[in-house]
Amino acid sequence: MTTTTPLDLTTDLTTLTARLCDLASVSGDERALADAIEQALRAYPHLEVLRDGDAVVARTRLGRASRVVVAGHIDTVPVAGNLPTRLEGTGDDAVLWGRGTVDMKGGVAVQLALAAALSEPTRDVTWVFYDHEEVDAALNGLGRIAREHPDWLAADFAVLCEPTDAGLEGGCNGTLRAQVRVPGVAAHSARAWTGVNAIHAAAPVLARLAAYEPAAVEVDGLVYREGLNAVLIEGGVATNVIPDRCVVTVNYRFAPSRSVEEAAEHVRDLLGGYDVVVTDSAAGARPGLDDPAAAEFAAAVLGVTGGAPAPKYGWTDVARFSELGVPAVNFGPGDPLLAHKDDEHLPVAQLQLCHDALRAWLTA
């Protein structure tokens, strides 16, 4: 275990969030933060603390009638000159700026504070702090735990503390990436008529994508907005060579009512006549708000925050819980539209709001 200044889980939420953010943990470099979290949680005798790689799990064993998981990832996308954190304003108007404030160390701070404070929750709680969420899905720490220690995630319900602007977001869209491979014939650019320009030949692919009208799909009472877009294009080998190959990478965000197979078929139908190869995919998750445990959570949390459930448009790890048969929702501080942005910032009032809502649920 590396040596670092111990985390004080009893300090105010703003200070704790800043401390977590300033202990930088870009994906692949989470060890110091994981060590600090493990060290801090081991100070509390009501928690059993487990470790797998740079993922830390702490759980109560009180023999309650139900068990819930509250999870969050501890890694961030790369820092862009936005650390150390800085606090602007005071009171309810205070804003904490810096990488990770939104995605998602504000949520992690709420988790840690509650894990330390709630020695007698009315439900047994498994607190999960995991690594490698912001990179390739194969490296995801929650996925690794699900494969190697599925019993650690056994529960009746799960909450992922991803940023939701302190609102309740059910389920998530699925995501699929595919390469559209367009062939050509190489030639000297001075004699272009002897070849076939693969980049030019990709124009109809881009035209179909530009004209595509994404659907809005109602699933269990929530309306999910889909999207299908070109996100990368590559082709060409030199400035005097007609390209013999062009690859357009597309990303399809699809409603959780579709399976991955149905999503892939939809992309192939739209781009019929082209070589379409799926390179990465992850199923979405239905809202699951009709589950009794989810309904209890919604009632308790919305009683504090107000508002109504909304869909999660992006993909989150609620889908992993869904695959395990555990209903799950997204709930955490921070505007998701600010995630990964250089001006990432968090209204600190949302930290207390989410803390109080989760505490009301776990002590009801």
Q: Which residues are catalytic?
A: 75, 133
Instruction: Write the Ramachandran bin of 298: left for phi over 0, alpha for psi from -120 to 50, otherwise beta.
Output: alpha
With CA atoms as reference, report the closest residue to 171 among 71, 332, 318.
318
With CA atoms as reference, report the closest residue to 261 among 330, 196, 178, 171.
178
Rounded CA gap, 110 and 336, in Å? 17
> Residue 162 burial by CB count (10 A; 0-12/13-18/19+): exposed, middle or buried?
buried
CB count within 10 Å of CB 235 equals: 19
